[in-house]
Amino acid sequence: MKTELLRMLWYATDVFPISDLRARTFASGLDTPTGEASLLDQLSTEILVLKDFTTILEIRHDERQAILAQLREIYDRRFDKFWGTGQRLSWTGRLGFLAGVTPVIDKHHAVMGLLSPRFLQFRVRPSDRTQAALQAIKNAGRETATRSASSPPSPPAFWPV
């Protein structure tokens, strides 16, 4: 259910869907002719939508900590990164961040402690779980048709990275 709720936002204006985050996603340090190898170089006021934050919770501790530190910096509207190669990224902006997560979040109290002053947690619970399960069974196999009925004819230019 979390993915379908977030999927509805993918075509909205100023929404940037992303499938995965790693420590070098926001700031890569890669030298390119266009200078836009880092995701933050391409963003200023969008809302990042990550369909599954669980992937971040389950990666190596040091990688996860780096991502969480970056999210805190981005929330504070400024991110500065310097590399030994002379590359520099200085970003200012106002990004939103919306992510879905499985119940595994409940096992990561320390992570939520690091994020809680800046991030809000909202749980969607069906009023009648049995009815929701029966409806999901009825809808099985019709996902593509249902999605295409509510989607624009072509994906936006910034399709997930």
Highest mean pLDDT among 9-18, 34-43, 61-70, 138-147: 61-70
Mean pLDDT of 124-146: 77
Dihedral (C-alpha) 37, 52, 10, 130: value to the nearest 10 degrees? 180
Domains of the chain, residue spans:
2-149
CA distance 139 to 145: 10
- The more confidently predicted of residues 80 and 159 is 80
CA distance 72 to 27: 14
Mean pLDDT of 67-96: 90
Give 115's contacts (C-beta < 8 A, 6+ positions apart): 68, 71, 72
Between strands 96-99 and 47-50, the pairing is parallel
Q: What's the mean pLDDT when you consider all of the chain?
A: 82
pLDDT attached to residue 79: 94
Q: Is the pTM of this model over 0.85?
A: no
AA letter at 21? L
pLDDT attached to residue 26: 93
